Structure 1
């Protein structure tokens, strides 16, 4: 987070922390190149395995700290899926639980100094959102067939307005992956960039840096909250979308 002062003034580059770099060498990044993104996604997966698998493998009556945390997450997500997507939605609980934990742990790992926030990249969040979109669409078509398209026909509206509303519903349905991914990536990217800007001022102001340092502490606390809330929002939206595919009720 260093800043430099040249003849043109203070130089702060808050977006440098989001640059994708190869782990080995300085060559170009191809689709098969191991990068800082793949490294930290791998660390998130390992953290998820450690929390959900290794810490619960004994299934002790008196749970350890790790098992207690894992059971807390399990109960929280299970209730969310059941409340939002219904009993039929529980069939997809393992997928939704894995999705939540990956996003949550990726967000939290990104708050470690010198780490990389993988979920700040639209390339990552877009893939997650597209997987949700394809899952919901394919499950809906499999379970309901052509009847799945009834969700676009608002029967409660006047007949003259139904074609217009159908177009709006179709457009909004296909925009879901965009809003789903941008909401997560944009919030994390913005918060980390603001922290980097404050850090740049703190490094340049010397003794007077107490103000930007205080701002960094406040922003860091806010980012911890944002990391948890955005994982929750991403997951609950997944449950809402899944309800369209498994719920028998139509508009």
Structure 2
């Protein structure tokens, strides 16, 4: 999380909780082009490095008595494997590498964003929208590849009365195309809101000095909640991916 910016201007207290989400070039300057290395680029790279250290380097020994890194990798592996199997069935296990990659990336990015002076990449729609669109396009293409035009039957509710089926089909179609929007905003919104609240209370704590017991206590409590939210949001994004994947595998259900 970024540093707290507290300034007294004309006798008042100014707290800028959204400053921590500003995209800034790493090597100076004010212009950010598509090729400019920024703080987002840095923390995305650090996320990949952290995943590689834990999941690849930490597990390459495959010891009978696992190390901490191997234990973490095995727990996450078993957790995602069971999630896919429970939601999509055995057919979905062939897509385990993709779902596992999504989960680990979001989880590590969320946790790294909780470090002091860090940048939370998953608080930006530009990042979460790419992840959500990738899921949406993958599931849609997979649905047509596996089922052909029968994939469209998921929009036609055959168990409903005939007069309501066109209306329900339109609603289902709209909700389907809204998926990437809700999928991305849910993650980015939760991460941004929590970090902003922490920064507001941290600003009060910095301004109150020795009398900052209550704001400091609030920061500790909210920070603990943010640790939980970081894990829950990775889980929610992943399980929704599994639900969407199930629609592609079993469009008639």
Q: TM-score, normalised by structure 1?
A: 0.98
Using the TM superposition, give the Cα deviation of residue 85 of structure 1 relative to its aligned residue in structure 2, in angstroms: 1.3
Deviations 1:8-50 (A, max 9, x none): 6110000000000011112300111111001101111111111
Task: State yes or no: 1:189 paired with 2:192.
Answer: yes
> How do 1:170-249 residues align onto structure 2 when only pairs under 5 Å count?
170-247=173-250
5+ unaligned residues in a row in structure 2: which ranges?
none
Is the 2:5–2:16 Cα contact (8 Å) retained in structure 1? Answer: no
Task: State yes or no: 1:145 paired with 2:148.
Answer: yes
The residue aligned with 2:81 is 78
Using the TM superposition, give the Cα deviation of residue 206 of structure 1 relative to its aligned residue in structure 2, in angstroms: 1.5
Within 1, Cα distance between the matches of 2:39 and 2:144?
A: 38
The residue aligned with 1:120 is 123
The residue aligned with 1:45 is 48
Task: Say which SS state the counterpart of residue 160 (structure 1) adopts.
Answer: helix
Deviations 1:178-228 (A, max 9, x none): 000000000010000000100110111122111100000000000000000
C-alpha spacing 1:8/1:171, structure 2 compared with 1 (3 Å): farther
Is the 1:56–1:67 Cα contact (8 Å) retained in structure 2? Answer: yes
Task: State yes or no: 1:250 paired with 2:248.
Answer: no
Task: State yes or no: 1:60 paired with 2:32.
Answer: no
Using the TM superposition, give the Cα deviation of residue 2 of structure 1 relative to its aligned residue in structure 2, in angstroms: 3.2
5+ unaligned residues in a row in structure 1: which ranges?
none
Task: Say which SS state the counterpart of residue 231 (structure 2) adopts.
Answer: helix
User: How many aligned positions are there?
Assistant: 250
Is the 1:2–1:203 Cα contact (8 Å) retained in structure 2? Answer: no
Q: TM-score, normalised by structure 2?
A: 0.97
The residue aligned with 2:160 is 157
